[in-house]
Amino acid sequence: MATSLQGTTVLVTGAGGGLGKVIATAYLEAGANVAICDIHEERLAAARSELEGTGRFAAFNTDVTSEEAVAKLVGDVAARFGRLDILVSNAGMTDKFDPVGAVSKETWDRIIGLNLTGSFLAFKAAVNAMEKQSPPGGTIIQIGSTASYHGMSSGVAYAASKHGVAALVKSTAGYYGAQGIFAIGLLLGGMVDTNIQDGFAALGGFNTEAFAQSAAAGFKPEMAVKTADVAKYCVFLADRGIAESSNGSLIRFNKNLPVA
């Protein structure tokens, strides 16, 4: 496995803070060129202040639910650094733990629009860029969840969105692997050192009754997956041989909770 990612260009979506920023920083420390996007300008400004001194960092204010904006983002990253080697599709938000009978269409549309449609748009733009660049190829890492396969780890909207991105990974891996474009999903367990609370705040809290029935109700801080460990694994997947060997994989990264 390569010890330095010098000359490798990485784009991490939703990376103004939280897990995305931790992943972006890990790639920077490994020597890569790193671009991030977010819709929170204050977070982007803080990230620029902290990371632009490397000379290998760029931050863009981008709404990942807009196809035009995402296409422009990928074009801007390629223009800045010459190509796009790795996309980490991280942008997303949690839901309120509402089951299907209680979730509003507004919440459903918002969660699906960001988590699933936003990931689709990022995949589409990245694949198109990776096909055309010379040499062609690249790696896409989708941040998934225990909710990508387990129905009682979240509300229905989040579970549907994260089941959806698992299908996005598998389809992309199947259609584009022969072209050297690999797709892998990391199905993460609960984390406490990230900005998940922002999602609850944006949606006006959460459904306490439904939460009490969910698998998340028994979650304790010691069960948490560390964002730094997720970032290390993302850097590990930068190795082309590892990425090719992992193409199409949905890797459970959750401290075996729920037990396999």
Residues involved in catalysis: 158, 162
Cα–Cα dist 73/15, whole Å: 14
Mapping DSSP onto H, E and C, the string for 128-179 reads HHHHHCCCCCEEEEEEEEHHHCCCCCCCHHHHHHHHHHHHHHHHHHHHHHHH
For residue 21, the one-letter residue type is K
**Lookup result for tokens 């037990």:** 259
**Lookup result for tokens 């922002």:** 198
Here the contacts of 2-7 (C-beta below 8 Å, separation 24 or greater) are: 2/238, 2/239, 4/30, 4/31, 5/30, 5/31, 5/32, 5/235, 5/238, 6/31, 6/32, 7/33
Six-digit token pair at 247?
A: 């193409």
Choose among 205, 208, 213, 196: nearest CA to 18: 196
Six-digit token pair at 225?
A: 């997956």
Six-digit token pair at 252?
A: 């459970």
Those residues with Cβ within 8 angstroms of residue 216's Cβ, 6 or more apart along the chain or in another chain: 97, 153, 154, 190
Cα–Cα dist 147/161, whole Å: 9
